Structure 1
Amino acid sequence: MSPTSPRPGKELSISHDSTPEPQAAAPGQPDAAPDQAPKVVRSPRSHALRVLVWFVLIGGLTYVVIPEISEIPRMGKALRDAQPAWAILAVLFAATGFFAAAASLAACSPMHLPFLRTTRVQLANAFAGTATPASVGSLALNVRYLSKSGMSTALATGTVALQSIVQVLTHLVLLSILALVAGRSIDHHMPGWARWALLAAVVAVVVTVVTVLVVPRFRHAVRTYARDDVLPAFRQLGGLAKDPRRLGLSILGAMGTTLSSAATLWACLLALGGGNDPIAAAFSTMVGQTLASAAPTPGGVGVVEAALTGGLVSFGIASAIALPAVLLYRLISCWIPVLIGWITLRLLQREDVV
């Protein structure tokens, strides 16, 4: 063997180093799997957008809470004067609304949604919807939840729009039935502001329709919205009508969200000795929900309280009882769920559900 010839061990070492063994051995190495697992990295832009959304929600909620601080003494008095049994029943009635909303969304969805998780999302909507006007935040949160569940954005938007359509139609049917059952009583007790509010709503609808027809930009925006969102929702409504089980569940869920509010206010009246008048509670909450959906304030704050109090007073309930009952109702159906909804939303975001 010549001095310049490589040693057998050295030659083996060179041959060993020249082979791409990390690539060949990587699939068989147990410690290589973590390096190959996909890592979810949030982009700075996504993080900044989430922080911005939180600032908007917190800002809206702060705008809502500040005017209500002056009512805290009255809320405390309402709680001290309330009968515990009826107050607990009011809490249970308010809680059923979240389960009903989850059932309605699950029925309108073309794919299976876990019921408990969907209920948690509806509870988170108590915060998102109150912090934004006309419950825009709750609609956006539902779309986000459906998108995270595997739906396309278009299908998720159509599903949420379908749920809104079923909710509105059911609300109108319940209001019509209430008017037929107790029409004379409602007409006799209907306050003057309600008639003026109805007239103002009709005028607003007429002005909006004329504006949309006259201004090309608005006309194009409405046409695009109708093509991309409304028409798919009505197509899904046709599919929903062909499935009696889903249709019935969606209607029952929509009825539950409306009736739970009426039952909660009714229980609050009983808790404060306001008498047993479910018609007054149902009519007041239905009008209050209608005005809240059109109110420019987050959560309809101010508008809802005035509508509920005025409605109860018009039915002969003393203002000394009507106002505390409304404050107790808002505490149970709005402010406590807002706090729980904020915590729930944070947990859902950590779980990457929304």
Structure 2
Amino acid sequence: MSAPTDITPVLGRRRAYWHGAVCLAVLMCAVYLALRHWPTLHTGAVRLAVADQGWLLVAATAAAATWVSSALAQQGAVGSRLPGGRLVASQFAASAANHILPAGLGAGAVNLRFLMRCGLTAGRSASALAVKAGAGAVVRGVLIAALAPACTGLLRIPHVGPAALLAPAAVIGLVILLLNSPLWPRCRRALAVVLADIRAVHAHPRRAAALWGGSLAFTAFHSLVLIAVTQAVALPLAPVRVALLYLAASSAAALLPTPGGLGSLDAALGLALTASGAPSAAAASVVLGYRLLTVWLPLLPSLLVLGVLIRRRAL
């Protein structure tokens, strides 16, 4: 009788091939978009190269602060004390994984693995991530509602056609199907765990302050990156308007979940800036600067940190 074959190396190679294929597809899409809009990008890059270095430094500092803010929010969503250094490093590494899988799945997988390595069960880890994501969504919605009155006419409700009226009916139908499906008991138990964790967070003021303060700081620092870049390229837009444009564009880009928001967030930010009166070249330089500071420049270091964490079995 032959010895059983270990399929782990084979599965590992297949996973590596899939990851490589996804990364190649993302890179090809980025190259295609860059070639298609090369004149605008070239003009924007030249304008960014002669931008105010002081404001770019502010933008870079704000970009680095987003990972610390994310770590603070994650600590607030967890009852046990997490190792601070590895927590911040995992948030930095998650930013790299987020550009491989869409809709934040890469960052979610890294954070889930990190919390499980810290001793939490898979269910508790997933619940902590859900609490953090929910807090971030609430903060984003509250900020949009708070800033919209200060920028009258900036956000317009789109025209709703007759076909769009079917969306509420479709949602109600999906809810009814879920309530009558065999998956509902499992979903109900998961929802009960999340609600219990939310109550546990707010039973401790320090945890609640970390969760909501970190979520608010994360969104505010991302807005500050965009504001600082607009100031660096001398784009005459009020900071409040830029912050509202970022919140609206990033929320709209979430409806088209691409890895790291590649393409969807860029297009949404560019359209939002040009619709507010910015020239196309200036809008391109702002989007390019924002993406350089939040994605492309930190990408290689975050991949290295991800590899180190995996090697040390922190993930």
Q: CA deviation at 1:76?
A: 4.0
135, 138, 144: which is aligned to 1:166?
A: 135
Does the CA-based 8 Å contact 1:58-1:131 persist in structure 2?
no
Higher helix share: 1
Which structure: larger Rg? 1
Quote the Cα distance in structure 1 between the aligned partners of 2:178 and 2:70. 37
Deviation at 1:220, TM superposition (A): 3.7
Q: CA deviation at 1:350?
A: 0.2
How far apart are 1:348 and its partner, in Å?
0.6
Question: 2: distance between equivalents of 1:161 and 1:97?
Answer: 19
CA contact (8 A) 2:59 2:293 kept: yes
What corresponds to 2:21 in structure 1?
59
Consecutive unaligned residues of structure 2, counting only runs of 5 or more, are none
1:250-285 deviation digits (Å, cap 9, x = unpaired):
101001111111100111111111125212221222
Write the mapping of 1:22-41 to structure 2, written as runs, cut at 5 A: none
The alpha-carbon distance between structure 1 residues 107 and 335, as it changes in their structure 2 partners (threshold 3 A), is same
Identity %: 23
Deviations 1:214-252 (A, max 9, x none): 4788x444x255334332111100011111111011101
1:195 counterpart (134, 150, 158)? 158
Q: Is the 8 Å Cα contact of residues 262 and 281 (structure 1) preserved in structure 2?
A: yes
1:257 and 1:61 map into 2 onto residues whose CA distance is 26
Q: Equivalent residue for 1:136?
A: 105
SS in 1 for 2:98: helix
Cα separation, 1, equivalents of 2:249 and 2:22? 20
Unmatched runs of 5 consecutive residues or more in structure 1: 1-42
Within a 5 Å distance, the mapping from 1:115-264 to structure 2 comes to 115-180=84-149, 182=150, 185-186=151-152, 188-190=153-155, 195=158, 204=167, 206-214=169-177, 219-221=181-183, 223-224=184-185, 226-264=187-225
Aligned length: 304
CA distance in 1, matches of 2:296, 2:235: 22
- Inter-partner Cα distance in structure 2 for 1:269 and 1:174: 20
**Alpha carbons 1:284, 1:308 under 8 Å: kept:** yes
Write the distance in 2 (CA, Å) between the matches of 1:231 and 1:332. Answer: 39
Alpha-carbon displacement from aligned partner over 1:154-174 (angstroms, at most 9, x marks no partner): 111111111111111122112
Separation (CA, whole Å) in 2 of partners of 1:200 and 1:290: 22
Distance 1:251 1:216, change over 3 A: closer
Q: Which has the higher contact order (CA 8 A, sep 6+)?
A: 2
Q: Distance in 1 between matches of 2:159 and 2:19?
A: 32
CA contact (8 A) 2:67 2:92 kept: yes
The CA distance in 1 between the partners of 2:121 and 2:9, in whole Å, is 22
CA–CA distance in structure 1, aligned partners of residues 148 and 6 of structure 2: 54
Shift, 1:47, TM fit: 5.0
Work out the CA distance in 1 between the residues paired with 2:84 and 2:164: 36
C-alpha distance after superposition, 1:290-321 (max 9, x if no partner): 23333132222211111111111222222221
Say what the alpha-carbon RMSD is for the aligned residues: 2.8
* Equivalent residue letter for 1:99: V
| 1:323 paired to 2:284 | yes
1:301 maps to 2:262: yes
Aligned residue for 1:294, secondary structure, equals coil
Report the more deviating stretch, 157-166 or 198-207.
198-207
Aligned mates of 1:279, 1:198 — CA distance in 2: 31
